[in-house]
Structure 1
Amino acid sequence: MNTPKKTALVIGGSRGIGAAIALRLARDGANVALTYASAAAKAEQLAGAIEEHGVQALALKADSANAAELQAAVEQAAARFGRIDIVVLNAGILHIADIAEFGIETLDRMLDVNVRGVYLAIKAALPHMPPGGRVITIGSNTAVRSGHPGSSVYAMTKGAVAVMVKGLAVDLAPRGITINNIQPGPIETDMTADMIELVKDWIPLKRVGQPSEIAGLAAYLAGPESGYMTGASLTIDGGMSL
């Protein structure tokens, strides 16, 4: 009898790191549901690329600041595939500004997407996750090294995710579900395109990372060999935070 394929749900999976993780999990044999906030064409194109690996894909519109949309996306993914084995929380927004210029609306939006949305997506997915499930959050090395002016709010949100993961690891352990946090440094995506030349000299390896490198770590955390790891934050930043 064939073993059923695992199902992965990638929140914020239409581009950048999220897209790389979605493709890697598909390559490893998982069906993949992914959410997008506005990039419908990119999400559908990615879904087609995922299905080229012989698995099924589902693109779902959901703004991570909207609790109802997140809940609906999780329910649709579970209804389509029957269960959710792996949840990746990648949706996030970045705004850089000094505290004097940082608007309250922007502050609220970043907290809603980067912190509240992560918590609510995990909460929505848990009823559909069996023992052996994996939750993976995408944080940032700014949680441990916030050396860039104007990055206080982004660092605060990613620090909150790292602490959230520790607390949830204790809550989820009795269910046999692990949760771990990846903390990338600068990665070559459209969100960081304007800062790559500025930051690469701060990195001991003298380069920024690639989405595929984050996807490789996510694949490990999603697999059986990481079963004894939970509550950890793994920094992958070329030595930037040393």
Structure 2
Amino acid sequence: MSAEQRVVVVVGAGPGVSGSLARRCAAEGWHVGLVGNDETVLADLASTLVPARVERRVADAADPHTGGSAVADLGRRFGRIDLLHVNPSAYREADPMHLGVDEILDDVRLGVGALLVAVQAAHPYLRPGSRVTVTGSMAADEPSAAAASLGVQKAGVRNLVHSLDATLAPEGVRAVSVTVRGALAREGTFSHDAVGDALWRAAHQDPAAWRSEVPYPA
């Protein structure tokens, strides 16, 4: 691999925002690693990333063994990770009076735990200049009572991003969440491609003015 050949690993990869970011990286000449729980979805996404070199792994992103092993294996295969994007969250229609403790813990395990698993596994392959991005949501600030666990996940993952950024900054690695303040749509400001571009820009912030949370739209 050329010293300039960059690598993105997308955890929770799918056809939406994470797929758009993967395509943006591929268009820039990056190699792409994909981690997700559905081989068909991963294969379909990989087919849109030609001519990039693509490696894919099927795993439970929140499981320290399978999810962590998948990310670490991609790091070994590529030799480095320049951008780690973590996308998973769980949507469950249940208000606080109908949401069980085990259910909310399962959701947080995915929506927050997957980030911890991915970063810990990727850490040996991150280098000065590497970036970690997360798809955030206005649900962190304006939760829907009808899907109470999502707001908890998004608030938690944003908080964890702040802590990761502070911890990794001395190594030259930065983390950022992009808080999407609207509902995803097929076209317009909240299209998958538009939000994917926002993530790309967040990852390429000026390090001297780095923010670990970026609202979208600004």
TM over 0.5: yes
Counterpart code for 1:235:
P
The structural deviation recorded for 1:230 is 3.8
Kindly indicate whether the alpha-carbon contact (under 8 Å) linking 1:169 and 1:230 is maintained by their aligned counterparts in 2: no
Q: Aligned partners of 1:233, 1:90: CA distance in 2, in Å?
A: 15
The structural deviation recorded for 1:25 is 1.2
Q: Aligned partners of 1:166, 1:86: CA distance in 2, in Å?
A: 17
Q: Aligned partners of 2:121, 2:13: CA distance in 1, in Å?
A: 17
Q: Aligned partners of 2:5, 2:63: CA distance in 1, in Å?
A: 29
Kindly indicate whether the alpha-carbon contact (under 8 Å) linking 1:169 and 1:231 is maintained by their aligned counterparts in 2: no
CA 1:229/1:86 → structure 2, altered by over 3 Å: closer, same or farther?
farther
Kindly indicate whether the alpha-carbon contact (under 8 Å) linking 1:141 and 1:183 is maintained by their aligned counterparts in 2: yes
Q: Aligned partners of 2:34, 2:149: CA distance in 1, in Å?
A: 26
Question: Which 5+ residue runs of structure 1 have no aligned equivalent?
Answer: 190-206
Instruction: Give the corresponding residue for 1:160.
Output: 156
The structural deviation recorded for 1:24 is 1.0
CA 1:220/1:23 → structure 2, altered by over 3 Å: closer, same or farther?
same
The structural deviation recorded for 1:128 is 0.7
| Correspondence 1:221 to 2:210 | no
Kindly indicate whether the alpha-carbon contact (under 8 Å) linking 2:80 and 2:127 is maintained by their aligned counterparts in 1: yes
Kindly indicate whether the alpha-carbon contact (under 8 Å) linking 2:202 and 2:214 is maintained by their aligned counterparts in 1: no
Selected match of 2:86 from 84, 89, 109: 89
Selected match of 2:119 from 102, 122, 136: 122
Structure index of larger Rg:
1
Q: Deviations over 1:154-186 (max 9, x none)?
A: 111111111111122111111001111011131
CA 1:226/1:11 → structure 2, altered by over 3 Å: closer, same or farther?
farther
Instruction: Give the corresponding residue for 2:12.
Output: 12
The structural deviation recorded for 1:28 is 1.6
Question: Which 5+ residue runs of structure 2 have no aligned equivalent?
Answer: none
Counterpart code for 1:232:
S
3-state SS of 2:200 partner: helix
The structural deviation recorded for 1:65 is 2.5
Range with greater deviation from structure 2 (70-79 or 174-183): 70-79
Range with greater deviation from structure 2 (98-107 or 72-81): 98-107
Identity of aligned residues (%): 22
Instruction: Give the corresponding residue for 2:142.
Output: 145
Instruction: Give the corresponding residue for 1:46.
Output: 45
Kindly indicate whether the alpha-carbon contact (under 8 Å) linking 2:36 and 2:60 is maintained by their aligned counterparts in 1: yes
The structural deviation recorded for 1:103 is 2.7
Matched residues, number: 215
Counterpart code for 2:47:
G
TM-score, normalisation: structure 1: 0.82
Counterpart code for 1:233:
E
Q: Deviations over 1:113-155 (max 9, x none)?
A: 0011111211111111011110101121111222x33233211
Q: Aligned partners of 1:7, 1:221: CA distance in 2, in Å?
A: 17
Q: Aligned partners of 1:182, 1:228: CA distance in 2, in Å?
A: 18
| Correspondence 1:188 to 2:168 | no
TM-score, normalisation: structure 2: 0.91
Q: Aligned partners of 2:176, 2:169: CA distance in 1, in Å?
A: 12
Where in structure 2 are the equivalents of 1:6-85 lying within 5 Å? 6-38=6-38, 40-50=39-49, 52=50, 54-85=51-82
3-state SS of 1:44 partner: helix
Counterpart code for 2:23:
L
